Amino acid sequence: MVQYFRYHQLKKGEHHHAGEDEMLSLMSATSSGYFKRSRPKLFSLLILSLLSCCLILGSHLFCSPSAFSLLYSFGVEGDGVAANVNAKASLCSSISNGTMCCDRSSIRSDVCVMKGDVRTNSASSSIFLYTSKSTDAVIKNVSSLVDKDELQHERVKPYTRKWETSVMDTIDELDLIVKTENFRNNHHCDVKHDVPAVFFSTGGYTGNVYHEFNDGLLPLYITSQHFKKKVVFVILEYHDWWIMKYGDILSHLTDYPAIDFSGDKRTHCFPEAVVGLRIHDELTVDPSLMQGNKSVVDFRNVLDRAYLPRVQSLLKEEERLAQEKLKQKVHSSSSEIRKEVQDATLKRPKLVILSRNGSRAITNEDLLVKMAEEIGFRVEVVRPERTTELARIYGALNSSEVMIGVHGAAMTHFLFMRPGSVFIQVIPLGTEWAADAYYGEPARKLGLKYVGYQILPRESSLYDKYDRNDPVLRDPESVSEKGWQYTKSIYLDNQNVRLNLGRFHKRLLRAYSYTIAKMNRRSHL
Ligand SMILES: *[C@@H]1O[C@H](CO)[C@@H](O)[C@H](O)[C@H]1NC(C)=O
Ligand SMILES: *[C@@H]1O[C@H](CO)[C@@H](O)[C@H](O)[C@H]1NC(C)=O
Ligand SMILES: *[C@@H]1O[C@H](CO)[C@@H](O)[C@H](O)[C@H]1NC(C)=O
Ligand SMILES: *[C@@H]1O[C@H](CO)[C@@H](O)[C@H](O)[C@H]1NC(C)=O
Ligand SMILES: *[C@@H]1O[C@H](CO)[C@@H](O)[C@H](O)[C@H]1NC(C)=O
């Protein structure tokens, strides 16, 4: 509650277009202890959120100073996000027929539930609930805006970045209106569904894999899994490509085709509607807030079932190609064949390098591959691109024991690793907090062995560009404090990593021993 209060103080600052300095003083005035602890978070939150939105939407709108301050305000809230959502019996989880209830207690999203005779009207971006309940029982708060025929009226933007007004401005708002059943005769059902609907948006930052999982699929799982697929998804800012890309997963969350809310003008009628998605924390599912203690491992199990058929057909294709190659290779060198035979028979543990190109690339990746092979790994380099089929990436990671990658949105794929395997995140200068909060901590929650490899200044390409006493190398935090644009242009967009292989070797060897021990344990069971 304290943190919630603090958030409102900050919101006040926003309206006055407070700059970052004002934000900082406001925070330190509220609680210097909290300020200290949360400060690094703030910058990193900025890094991630702004990076993604600048990249995806390429709009200066999202890179503006006001967006900066909004993100700031969220950073303060960081620790309070989960705390604000109370226990399993969350607000509105059991309401009586003919009523509507909105839970606006979370800093990340609003969720409204309507139960009874629910009918859509996409032309006016509205959802109506017709009720026989007497007005007294229903009216909770009559504002001056409310039409006298309306018993209750709420507005919701069904997207999970409520604190980030710049992106929320791009999300369609829905009007949720409760009326007495006398009015329903003018509003005929074109399609009658006998299962509940979940309304959400695939706009905003959709297009970036981190946001697609963090603000889309995980919240969708959290909000809808208890319906056991007896649920219809009604989507705002609907994209065909999104339905295609995530079709495998969607078909494991619902038995019904999705509805494009603004594209489908028919009146859809439901016995219940959940408008907006619940979200717990970064890339995770908090079992204490779920029915049946469902966790992020259960979410991953959904992914596994979803990708199994496609992964198997890809494997078959690969085997066929390998056999053809082998046939052609009758005359190839015996050492090559020996190596292939070794790979197949010794079952060397697999290591995947999620490779970036452009900024934050590993410039000595070739040597890293060689070193990992010498240690005893079978190495696969995966370069995820926007068009890369997710089942392919899933197949590569699900069959590997170790994943290495440099901090960035592609680290979201740690969700594809089997619990108990190793995730080594290479952390460039100036990205330490974000690396841990967005990927390190969620990876631990999935049960991965997480290793954060914080690079030394010498391993950064910035080492050649700046004097070694320059704050850019010595004190990245102080540079980030100067403003988002510094973080972005110095640390995110223009930094590569040249791994100190001697130093990295130790981590890799440890990962190898751990993996071998685990494999031996498994074979002795
Ligand atoms: C809920 O109310 C609607 C009308 O208000 C009615 O048609 C429906 O049968 C009710 N459902 C239940 C489960 O009582
Ligand atoms: C009623 O609504 C108004 C504006 O919509 C709001 O300012 C007020 O706090 C609400 N009152 C209660 C008791 O929820
Ligand atoms: C969920 O976890 C709690 C506490 O760990 C435990 O008491 C409860 O039995 C669990 N429920 C289920 C359905 O597993
Ligand atoms: C992932 O790996 C596990 C363990 O090897 C296997 O049982 C499962 O079928 C794999 N999933 C997919 C989609 O390939
Ligand atoms: C990055 O990837 C693109 C497309 O795969 C390729 O054309 C380009 O050469 C790569 N750049 C570097 C520096 O490797």
Secondary structure class of 346 (helix, strand, coil): helix
Q: Determine the Cα–Cα distance for residues 132 and 117; give it in Å rounded to an integer.
A: 10
Q: Determine the Cα–Cα distance for residues 519 and 227; give it in Å rounded to an integer.
A: 38
What pLDDT sits at residue 138? 47
Question: What is the DSSP-derived secondary structure letter of residue 60?
Answer: G
What pLDDT sits at residue 50? 45
Which residue's alpha carbon is at the smallest distance from atom 13 of ligand 1? 97
CA-nearest of 427, 494, 474, 85 to 438 is 427
Which residue's alpha carbon is at the smallest distance from atom 5 of ligand 1? 131
In the reported structure, the alpha carbon of residue 297 is separated from the centroid of ligand 3 by a whole-number distance in angstroms of: 15
The DSSP code sequence of 188-223 is --SEE-SS-EEEEE--TTTTSHHHIIIIIIHHHHHH
With a CB cutoff of 8 Å and minimum separation 6, the contacts of 465 are: none
Which residue's alpha carbon is at the smallest distance from atom 2 of ligand 3? 293
What pLDDT sits at residue 161? 97
Residues of the chain with pLDDT under 70: 1-89, 134-147, 330-346, 525
What pLDDT sits at residue 140? 54
b/e 431-470 (16+ beta carbons within 10 angstroms → b): bbbbbbbbbbebbebbbbbbbbbebeeebbbbbeeeeeee
Ligand nearest to the CA of 300: 4
Q: How far are the Cα atoms of 153, 468, 505, 508 from residue 457, in angstroms, in the given order?
A: 56, 8, 18, 20
Q: Determine the Cα–Cα distance for residues 525 and 523; give it in Å rounded to an integer.
A: 6
* Residue 141 in contact with ligand 2 by CB distance below 6 A: yes
CA-nearest of 163, 208, 108, 166 to 408 is 208
What pLDDT sits at residue 347? 81
Q: Is the pTM of this model over 0.85?
A: no
What pLDDT sits at residue 348? 93
Of 141, 152, 153, 154, best ligand 2 pocket probe by most atoms within 8 Å of the beta carbon: 141
* Residue 307 in contact with ligand 4 by CB distance below 6 A: yes
pLDDT tens for 444-464 read 999 999 999 999 999 999 999
Ligand nearest to the CA of 398: 4
In the reported structure, the alpha carbon of residue 449 is separated from the centroid of ligand 3 by a whole-number distance in angstroms of: 25
Query: Per-domain residue ranges for the chain?
Result: 2-78, 90-294, 299-524
What pLDDT sits at residue 358? 84
In the reported structure, the alpha carbon of residue 291 is separated from the centroid of ligand 3 by a whole-number distance in angstroms of: 9
* Residue 398 in contact with ligand 4 by CB distance below 6 A: yes
What pLDDT sits at residue 338? 65
- Dihedrals phi, psi of 240, to nearest 5 degrees: -60, -40
Give the rounded percent of residues in the chain with a pLDDT score beyond 70.
Answer: 77
Q: Which residue has the tokens 């539930």?
A: 113
Q: DSSP E strands: which ranges in 55-139?
A: 100-103, 111-121, 126-131
What pLDDT sits at residue 30? 27
Question: Pocket residues for ligand 1 (CB within 6 Å)?
Answer: 97-98, 116-117, 131-132
